[in-house]
Amino acid sequence: MTSPDAAAPDGVRTWRPGRPVPVGSLLRQQRRGAGDPTHRLATGGRHWRASRTPEGPVALAVSEQDAAGAVTAHAWGPGAAWALDQLPALLGELDDWTGFEPRHPVLVEAWRRHPHLRLGRTGLVMEALVPAIIEQKVTGQEAFAGFRALVRRHGEPAPGPGAAHGLMVPPDAATLRTVPSWEWLRLHIDPARSRAVVTAARHAEALERAAGLPGAEAEARLRALPGIGVWTAAEVRQRALGDPDAVSYGDYHVAKDVGWALEGRLFDDAELARYLRPWSGHRGRVPFLILAAGLHRPRRGPRMSPRGHLRTRDQFA
């Protein structure tokens, strides 16, 4: 029986970056939890990703770098050419560490151990923004489950062999605008977050253009909409723009983990902001390196439990 992966791709690209590229680690930056239906990492020797590009849906399969230093990608769907053109940026080619000084022994060691990690950029604002909104002020378990349910119920199967790998393309802005309020509740996404998603979907074209703006200008455009704050904007800047200066202030873990790793005590956001000033222009690299090194404060307490009080449609009857 012929493998579904044998389907002729709509585009192929072989990229020779001239440096080591940890493909799986770089693509993992864009994944929303292990069950993210838009990603399948390390499947059959290739990493799979489904996206909705400006030219349409795409399924992208990227092989690990071979012995000759080449990275080969196959793409299926209307967005194939766009996705292949963006491949180097997705894998960190545009991330420039010039001017970054680690300054602290912990960061020096983390950079020494992970010298090839870079920030990838997708160039896709809505792809980063929708799950970031869904992740606001909830546990990771609840956030990932909500995004997973949204994509499975309102997305579409990825083109070509992507569907056979269980890949789904996220819903487009037009679809998001039509999801009824009771359906958001079935997805365990409360009204505050669903309103923010729908509002963003109404302004999707203007938001997508933010991908070409400097980080501060992109943040201003994002935060002009209700329901999008500092944390959400930073998450988008990191993933869609590959912005090394974006810091996720307001995160439950980031400030505490940076303080614990570098100074042996827990920071709050104000302390973190003061501490990161010497790295202006590269402030996001500090938590990035700490995360890459697996450094975090001891988790002594019980995990936060997902909320169980969101009403479903049946409860409105």
Chain segment 200-255, per-residue pLDDT in tens: 999 999 999 999 999 999 999 999 999 999 999 999 999 999 999 999 999 999 99
Q: CB 252: neighbour CB atoms within 10 A? A: 14
Q: What is the pLDDT of residue 311?
A: 44
DSSP annotation of 206 reads H
Give 14-72 pLDDT, tens digit per residue.
999 999 999 999 999 999 998 999 999 986 679 999 999 999 999 999 999 999 999 99
Q: What is the pLDDT of residue 62?
A: 97
Give 260-296 pLDDT, tens digit per residue.
999 999 999 999 999 999 999 999 999 999 999 999 8
- What is the pLDDT averaged over residues 82-96? 98
Q: What is the pLDDT of residue 44?
A: 67
Q: What is the pLDDT of residue 121?
A: 97
CATH number of the 125-241 domain: 1.10.340.30
- What is the pLDDT averaged over residues 137-162? 93
Q: What is the pLDDT of residue 261?
A: 97
Q: Residue 316: is its pLDDT beyond 50? A: no
Stretch (H or E) spanning 72: strand 71-76
Give 70-80 pLDDT, tens digit per residue.
999 999 999 99
- Angle at alpha carbon of residue 159, lines to 122 and 157, rounded to 5°: 95
Residue at token pair 């604002």:
125
Query: CA separation (Å) from 255 to 187, 259, 273?
Result: 30, 6, 9
- pTM of the full structure: 0.91
Q: Domain locations in the chain?
A: 4-94, 125-241
Stretch (H or E) spanning 207: helix 204-208
Where are the alpha helices (H) located in 53-190, listed in sequence order? 80-85, 87-90, 105-113, 125-134, 140-154, 173-178, 181-186
Confidence label for 3 from pLDDT (cuts 50, 70 and 90)? low
Q: Residue 302: is its pLDDT beyond 70? A: no
